[in-house]
Amino acid sequence: MLHTSLDWLSNNAAVVAAIVAAFISLITSFITSRVALASIKRKAEFDFRTEFSAERAIIALLMIETQSTRTWNIIRETIGGFGDDELKKLLVRSGAIRMIGPNQEERWGLLDRNRDFLIKNRFLREHNRNPDWYQDLKKRDAEAAADEAKNARAAAQSAKKPSKIREFLTSFTIH
């Protein structure tokens, strides 16, 4: 039995060499890709270290328990070194949302801490724009439900009627 397997190896040496070469190539490419990936990750962390640090500082500033929001001026003075647009992008990437305070001042806070403000603010904005917005919403919902019921009835009726194709195909049946 051993002699037969050795004969097969000697007769198929090219196949064995190709399999060994493919295996070595696979291992080499795997190691190379892992090293390249680690290098790219280190470079990205180094290149964006300032932005990551600024995002962490923004989150820490907005997580202070005494206030759930901060004015734009406080944030701009605290997190220096960025232009207004760039700082606003950092705020959004950090999970912050912009709000207008009672004195028409721009305020920023984390979304997780200010969901109730958003709900209340949307309600007030909708109410100020259209005092009957809730009744309009209920009316639109009722109309949409009626349209859905009408479409469901029409679909049920069309399912009962044989289609033109079915009528055409059944006309060729042999009796």
Q: Over range 127-132, report the average pLDDT.
A: 65
Reported confidence tier of residue 22, pLDDT bands at 50, 70, 90: very high
Domains of the chain: which residue ranges? 2-46, 50-127, 138-175
- Above 60 in pLDDT, residue 134? yes
* Candidate from 58-67, 96-105, 155-164 with smallest mean pLDDT: 155-164
Give dist(CA 69, CA 62) in Å, integer.
6
Q: Over range 81-97, report the average pLDDT.
A: 89
CB 74 within 8 A of CB 83: no
- Above 60 in pLDDT, residue 96? yes
Q: Could you give the C-alpha distances from 53 to 42, 43, 49, 89, 167, in angstroms and in order?
A: 15, 16, 6, 14, 71
Quickly tell me which residue has 């406080």 as its tokens.
Answer: 74
Reported confidence tier of residue 133, pLDDT bands at 50, 70, 90: low
Bridge-partner residues for 109, per DSSP?
69, 97
pTM of the model: 0.46
- Above 80 in pLDDT, residue 84? yes
For the domain covering 50-127, report its CATH number: 1.10.10
Write phi, then psi, for 135 (nearest 5 degrees): -65, -40
